[in-house]
Amino acid sequence: MSDYPHHPGAYPVDTSLAGADFIAPSVPLLQQKILGVLADVGERGATGDEIAERLGWERFRVRPRTSELRIKKSIVDSGNRRPSQAGVASIVWVLPQYAQAGEIAHV
């Protein structure tokens, strides 16, 4: 297994490691789809739930990819929050060009 975020993260358990290896070839395409959603929504951004809804995915498919993209600095926390489906405040992700200058520093 390569370094995270260039390879999906996993717990040091055989099934978790196998799952990460299994999805690894698909990760670049999944990340590109998320970036496409964020490009479409522009400065409004999108939460993980909103990204999942636009792509027709389960929520659990989005969050690991947004974590990888954040570490790669491909997306940033806009500083805004919107409620998730569960009613909990969620990060609104944006592409770096839509972030406030001060917001990028804390990501």
List domains and CATH numbers for the chain. Answer: 14-105 (1.10.10.10)
pLDDT score recorded for residue 105 = 42
Q: Which residues of the chain have pLDDT under 70?
A: 1-2, 101-107
pLDDT score recorded for residue 101 = 53
| Per-residue b or e along 15-49, where b marks 16 or more CB atoms closer than 10 Å to that residue's CB | eeeeebeebeeebeebbebbbebbeebeeebbbbb
pLDDT score recorded for residue 67 = 97
pLDDT score recorded for residue 104 = 47
pLDDT score recorded for residue 6 = 87
